[in-house]
Structures are given as structure tokens and as C-alpha cells.
Structure 1
């Protein structure tokens, strides 16, 4: 089978050259695309009873893609958002082939015509100040392990860092112990290779200073009890374990992203403007941050009170100011 017809060479170029070199997409995006095709190709192979390495581009028909998307939701229990994420990777692959081989333009159009499914954004889950303090109190700070776990939880709450940003934090990314009124900072490496700096609370600075004292600059700041850098799974397990020890949180699903939401919501309640929160969290668009402007019932109640029906309106004092009206007429 000619190379331009076989699916494999196209997929190799797409994953190894196009999205990495030409598009320079984030590493997590590349992994998401890879995972999509790791699920899609065996599914198509089973349906067509054809080895994966013998699949042709045109074997990937729109009806088969729709069957695959249905399989994700019905058999694997994925949400509509996950389904749409997988579809976006398949569309990007079709666009890549269609833009380079005119013979596949029609096939590309059929794949890209598959519609995304409407999905509802889940409500923002966050913790009250007392709930967050209760979680911070769970690790036993008298032990080395508890001190390390407390430092990680406190850092996540202080900075609103994504879990990947916390696990990738190196000693050199911390600028602490400056004194003379300077700010202690953490440099976070976020999505798409973007970096940002977050100020640290005095308590966070104190805890982290103890952790990094005398360590090489290339060391990961947060390490597990085995002395290896924390993984994403390790951070999830830590937060899950601490939340289970707090009675108010026992029945709730608490993740690192819930703590990120908590940081944003507490900034909103403290009166920090939404654009500052956008920069704090590393959002590209302020529309992403606007969800936090809607989370607090106290703010909503204050807004309703301003426009409550039946409230006496202020008197129009300008009508009674004879001197002012005379002044205006004299101009």
C-alpha cells in the first residue's frame, strides 16, 4: 500500500513533527492527542478486522469516528467534554492531512463536519476558609513527611498552581529570603510554555525555605516520602487522603483543581479585581476567570439589594438648586 494512503506514516508525521515542531503545542496537549489515537486505532482495527499497521486513511470514516465517540461515552463512561476533546484531536489530524494531500480533501471535510456535543460546564467546586484550614491541619508537621505534605498543600492554596506546575517546580524557581521589603516569589511554568510569578505568604516562604535549604538548584521542591519528585497521581492521592480526614469534606470529591478554584474564590471575596486574578492563575483570557465572579452568594445578594424594587429613589436635588439652574442659563 502506498505510503501516502497508509494511516501510519501520516500519524507519525502528525505526532512527531507537526504538533511538536510546527505548532509547538504544550506537552500535555501532545500527550492528549497521542492518547486519542491510542484508543481510536485499536477500536477501528477491531471494527474492520484489519491490523493497525494496515489501516488506510480512508478507513477512518466519519461513521466509524461517530461510533468511536459513542463508545467513549457509553462503554468507557467519559463525559461529553472528554468526547469533544478526543474529537478535536481527530479533526486536527484530518486538517493536517487535507492541507498536504489534495486527494484527501473530501475525506477531511467529512471528518471535520462531525459536530461537537453540547456540554454543560460543571459548577465551580471550592472550599470555604474554615474547610481549607481544616485540610491544612491534617498533615502532622512534626514528622518529615507531614511537613512536606503541609508545604505542598500550602503552596497550592497560596499560588493557585495547577498540579503540573507544582510537580515541575524546581529549587531555582523560588526567590525567597530577600528581606528589605522585597517580595518572595515563585516562578511557575504553566500551559503552553508560559511562565508567571506569584508572591508567597510569609508562612509559605518560611516552610519552603526549610525545605530547600542546602539543596541543588535543579532539585524538585516537592518530594515524596521515597525521596522522588511528587507525581500528578501522588498529589491527587495526598489531597484525597487529607480531605477524607475532614468530616465536612468526607462525601465530596476534592482535587488539586478544587484548591485552585478555592484560591481564586478567596481572592474574589477579598475584593481583588478579576484581571489581577487572571494574571495570578495564568489564564490567557479573562473570560475564563469570569466564572469566579459568579460563585459567591454574598456578592449576588449585594447586587440584588442595589436594584431592589420599592427602594426610595434619591431626590433630584438639582431641580431645587435655583442658583445652579440660573448659572446654566447664563452661559
Structure 2
């Protein structure tokens, strides 16, 4: 298949199928775009193919296996990230097979490429004292402090992904005591409605009184940033900056707070808290919005690892018995929707 036919399918996938048919978020679409751009870089570096030479004949089971290794060995990506790039390519080829039966054989062949084995790392959850110190750090004597406190509390209480909180609309939040809840839109535009603590509901209501006084249109962004008198959606980088600013304050009273903080650590902390409270893994899976319970099971493994580390620490007090990378190429990428 010629290069123009290859990139025509890329364009339809990126600009029509993903955003309109599958209704994926811009963040997810960017991830798919990164995967395809990385594949093109790989074909350029290892097969010396210019963009106008790229076609489906370059995508074989062998080349994709080598692509996976190249991602980890040359690009220094983790196994998990490399597997995400591979999954995105497989998703693209699945779409292509549906568009052109002549490509079914290629798709079926690439499906056989096994993901790299990723080590099961324990989630870097914050301790509960660290969570509490981080929630208290912004204070509530200023409107920004109130906003940041509310956001951190909600990230933790709902075990929410950062984009899920940034996408919240007023109509997604119910602060009624006893039945308070939030409706989050997660990966694949799937929604889940979660209960929130009354304490969280009170903070949300206080935030609403300050940041959304008067009539409240359901589609209005819950959290926002102001520029030139207009409300705009906050960015993930903005939230990460705020978390680390407040962590620097909280670290005075909670030295175990890591030097760098990210929102997912609050999500991990909530999941670990639920697990230790006896909440069954299937319930935690639904709460977190995981597609597969195997993803949730890592929290149980992490808890067992903590027990093991505690035992090892205790055993440390005993005596050891023995020592023991512009032109026409740029145009092709733009026309294909990759830039």
C-alpha cells in the first residue's frame, strides 16, 4: 500500500474515528498521536524510511517486536509506556482492517506481538498523615486557599484522576448531606458516580458559594482559572504546580512527603485506605474506574509488600546467622493529523 493511502487512513483515524466515533478525550488522542509519531521515528532511524516511503509493508510482526525493544533500549521508556505505544498501534491497525479487508492479515499478525513484561511496582501512595498535611497546607483564609483545599480533598475522597476533576461541571456535583456524590468522566468517556464524605460536601458547598455565586448553569466548569476576565479550564500542569507548592509547606510537619508530588498519589492513597478498611477489590475496581480487576489487584500486592518490609525491618534487629528526532515531511504529518 502506498504512503498516501497509509497516511489517509491515519488522518481519518485521528480526525474522525477517535474524536467522533469513539468520542475519546483530547488527552487520549494525544497519546495515540505520540505512538504513531514514535513509530515513524523508529522506521526512519532503523529502516531509513522517509515519510513518503512509509506504508503498511513496513509494519510486520518482526518490526513491531523490534519497535518494542527500541522504545525501551533507545528511547529509554518503561515497559508500561512501551506497551501503551504498542497498544495504540494495534488499535490503529484494527481500525485499518475494518476500513480495508486487505489489511486484516497485517492486523492479525501484529496482534500476536506480545507486550513487554512490566514489573509490578507498588503504587507510590501517600501516607494518611501526609494526605492530611497536604489537605491542610493551602489554608482557607483566601479564596485560592479554599479552592486548592477543595481540589486536593476531592482528588483524594473520590480517588479521581486529575483530568476527571478538571472536567467536572456543576451538574456533576451533589453536596446534599448524606447523599453527596460526584459524577466523573474517565477513560473512554465512561462515567461513574461516587459517594463523597459529608465533610467533602461541606467544602464543595463553601467553594460554590465563593466561586459560583448566584445562578449555576449545570454545564459550567466546576474548577477554573481566570484569564482576561474569562473562565478557562485549568491544566494538569497547573494542578501539579499547586500540589508541589503546598507540599513544600506541608513537609515541615510531615517529613515523609516526597520531594515531588503528583495527583495520582492521592488516588493511590485512597485506594490503599479502602483496601485496609476491608472494602473488597471488586468494589475498589468500580470506585477507581478500572477496566480490569488485575489493575486493582496491584494494591493488594502493595499491601503485602508493606507487610514484608515491616517484617524485614523488625528482623533487622536480630543477629544474622551468616554473611549473607521540515519541509515535505512536515506537510505529510500535518495532513495526516499527526501535528
Unaligned runs of at least 5 residues, structure 1: 305-331
With over 3 angstroms needed to count, the CA separation of the structure-2 counterparts of 1:116 and 1:294, relative to structure 1, is closer
- Deviation of 1:68 (Å): 4.2
Match of 2:234 among 230, 234, 241: 230
With over 3 angstroms needed to count, the CA separation of the structure-2 counterparts of 1:192 and 1:298, relative to structure 1, is closer
With over 3 angstroms needed to count, the CA separation of the structure-2 counterparts of 1:99 and 1:273, relative to structure 1, is closer
Alignment of structure 1 residues 100-115 onto 2, 5 Å? 100-101=99-100, 103-105=102-104, 107-108=106-107, 110-115=109-114
User: Structure 1, residues 284-306: CA drift from partner, whole Å, max 9, x if none?
Assistant: 443332333344469969xx9xx
Looking at structure 2, the residues matched to 141 and 165 of structure 1 have their Cα atoms a distance apart, in angstroms, of 23
With over 3 angstroms needed to count, the CA separation of the structure-2 counterparts of 1:150 and 1:225, relative to structure 1, is farther
Do the aligned partners of 1:6 and 1:54 also contact (CA within 8 Å) in 2?
no
Do the aligned partners of 2:32 and 2:88 also contact (CA within 8 Å) in 1?
yes
Unaligned runs of at least 5 residues, structure 2: 312-339
Do the aligned partners of 1:136 and 1:153 also contact (CA within 8 Å) in 2?
yes
Match of 2:247 among 220, 235, 243: 243
- Given the alignment of the two structures, is residue 196 of structure 1 paired with residue 192 of structure 2, yes or no? yes
- Given the alignment of the two structures, is residue 271 of structure 1 paired with residue 275 of structure 2, yes or no? no
Structure with more contact order per residue of length (Cα contacts < 8 Å, sep ≥ 6): 2
Across the two proteins, how many residue pairs are aligned to each other?
A: 298
Looking at structure 2, the residues matched to 56 and 298 of structure 1 have their Cα atoms a distance apart, in angstroms, of 47
Rg larger for? 1
- Deviation of 1:119 (Å): 1.1
Do the aligned partners of 2:126 and 2:257 also contact (CA within 8 Å) in 1?
no
TM-score calculated relative to the size of structure 2 = 0.75
Structure 1 residue aligned with 2:287: 280
With over 3 angstroms needed to count, the CA separation of the structure-2 counterparts of 1:28 and 1:244, relative to structure 1, is same
Alignment of structure 1 residues 1-331 onto 2, 5 Å? 6-20=5-19, 28-45=27-44, 51-61=50-60, 64-66=63-65, 68-98=67-97, 100-101=99-100, 103-105=102-104, 107-108=106-107, 110-176=109-175, 178=176, 182-213=178-209, 214=213, 216-217=216-217, 218-224=219-225, 228-245=232-249, 246=251, 247-249=254-256, 251-296=258-303
Do the aligned partners of 1:145 and 1:225 also contact (CA within 8 Å) in 2?
no
Looking at structure 1, the residues matched to 291 and 260 of structure 2 have their Cα atoms a distance apart, in angstroms, of 27
RMSD: 3.2
SS at match of 1:248: coil
- Deviation of 1:261 (Å): 0.9
User: Structure 1, residues 278-330: CA drift from partner, whole Å, max 9, x if none?
Assistant: 332223443332333344469969xx9xxxxxxxxxxxxxxxxxxxxxxxxxx
More displaced stretch, 271-280 vs 148-157: 271-280
Looking at structure 1, the residues matched to 35 and 44 of structure 2 have their Cα atoms a distance apart, in angstroms, of 14
- Deviation of 1:199 (Å): 2.0
